[in-house]
Amino acid sequence: MTQPNCAIIDYGIGNVFSVRRALEQIGVEAELTADPDRILAADRVILPGVGAFGRAMEKLRQDGLDRVVHDYVASGKPFLGICIGLQVLMEASEEFGSHTGLGLIPGRVRKIPVEDDAASNFRVPFIGWSPVAESQSGAWQGTPLQDVPDPNAFYFVHSYEAVVSEPDHLIATHTLGGRAITSAVRRDNVMGVQFHPERSADHGLRFLEAFVNL
């Protein structure tokens, strides 16, 4: 089987270099591109991103990439959003005002609630490694999380979380300050992860490999 043609959307936000290097490490030559034709022609598309939701959406719209993402997703081919790339899949975010997202997955993005709980000592932004758990039995079936080892750990850095409207779209959670937080969402061929697989050592590389080989 020939290797799937993998594109990373390069829209001037976040560390695309790390994602490309992580893919190279598992033998995948991914293309960094903002060219709609190249994105639509790819077999796998990754939308990375760090920073603020509003700025990420602004950059996507500015280049018309919001429509390109919709068109690509309509083709049924696998799509992966990472961190802000997950959050922009939702309908809206409350980060620094109110912003409209891509609306590919019903739900919204909100600040992670922090309770004054000295025992949990939970701080925002959450920066660190956490295991992720299947939200309900069978939720990882047919997704790149299917073969994640147990125990697992992925690297997170975030202050906001996606909250899905349809429970079936939530497939993985991590626990912060005693609360279950969204770590991964999925709707048909669209998947988003809050963690950074490109920074999650072996488990992250294996996750990316599973996505490319879906």
Partner 1 sequence: MRNFRLIARLDVKMKTLIKGVQMEGWRKVGDPREFAARYAAEGADELMFTDVVASLYQRNSLHQIVRDVASEVFVPMTIGGGVRSVGDAGELLACGADKVALNTGATQDPALITEISQTFGAQACVVAIETVRYEGEWMVMTDNGRNHTGRKALDWAREATDRGAGEIILTAIDKEGLGRGMDLDLVSRVCDSVRVPVVAAGGIGTKDHLGALLEKTPASAVAVAQALHWNKLSLDDLRDTVSAHGHFVRPLGAVASSGGQ
CB count in 10 Å sphere of residue 161: 23
* Residue 100 or 155 with smaller CB distance to partner 1: 155
Chosen residue from 86, 153, 184, 191 binding partner 1 by CB under 8 A: 153
Cβ of residue 74: shortest distance to partner 1, in angstroms? 30
Chosen residue from 22, 28, 45, 191 binding partner 1 by CB under 8 A: 22
Q: How far is CA 70 from CA 65, 105, 146, in A?
A: 9, 11, 26
Q: Binding pattern to partner 1, positions 38-67, x when CB under 8 A?
A: ------------xxx---------------
Cβ of residue 20: shortest distance to partner 1, in angstroms? 10
The Cα 8–Cα 168 span in angstroms is 27
The Cα 13–Cα 112 span in angstroms is 22
Question: Which residue in 95, 134, 161, 198 is the catalytic one?
Answer: 198
The dihedral formed by the CA atoms of 164, 62, 36 and 169, expressed in degrees to the nearest 10: 0
Residue ranges of alpha helices (H) inside the chain are: 16-25, 36-41, 53-62, 65-74, 84-87, 201-212
* Residue 23 or 102 with smaller CB distance to partner 1: 23
Q: Does 159 bind partner 1 (CB under 8 A)?
A: yes
* Residue 187 or 206 with smaller CB distance to partner 1: 206
Active site residues: 83, 196, 198
